[in-house]
Amino acid sequence: DTDWAQIDLLYANLERLQPSPVVTLNRAVAVSKVRGPEAALDMIEPLAERLDGYFYFHGVKGALLKQLERPDEARTAFGRAIALANTPAEAAHIRQHLDRLSG
């Protein structure tokens, strides 16, 4: 089993030692497993402007919104992630999530 609480703690320490929006985004994934998607979404919303051009930000946001049963917002986030994908594999992975929202 994955110890998400420990991963959250490790990212919290890294955030304190070397703060960056990407570290916070990564920590939010662990937080979503420990405290739920709403807490994680609250963590990443302040990063939106700085990470707007970052594929992973929109992928994580879409996944959190999907978990919160906010499909329209999730579609928007997944669509942005697809537009920012660096490889066909990244785009295909996000497309799978998007397709699950539609059907």
Confidence label for 27 from pLDDT (cuts 50, 70 and 90): very high
Per-residue pLDDT reduced to its tens digit, 32-83? 999 999 999 999 999 999 999 999 999 999 999 999 999 999 999 999 999 9
pLDDT of residue 23: 98
pTM for the full predicted model: 0.93
pLDDT score of 102 more than 90: no
Q: Kindly state the tokens that stand for 47.
A: 């990063």
Domain extent for 37: 4-102
pLDDT score of 103 more than 60: no
Q: Where are the beta strands (DSSP E) in 9-101?
A: none
Burial 6-31 (b: 16+ CB within 10 A, else e): ebbeebeeeeeeeeebebbbbbbbbb
Query: CB-side exposure of 24: number of CA atoms within 13 Å?
Result: 18
How far apart CA 8 and CA 21 sit, in angstroms, is 15
Asked if 97 and 66 count as a contact pair (C-beta separation under 8 A), the reply is yes
| CATH number of the domain bearing residue 82 | 1.25.40.10
Domain count, the chain: 1
Q: Which are the contacts of 23, defined by CB distance < 8 A and separation ≥ 6?
A: 11, 14, 15
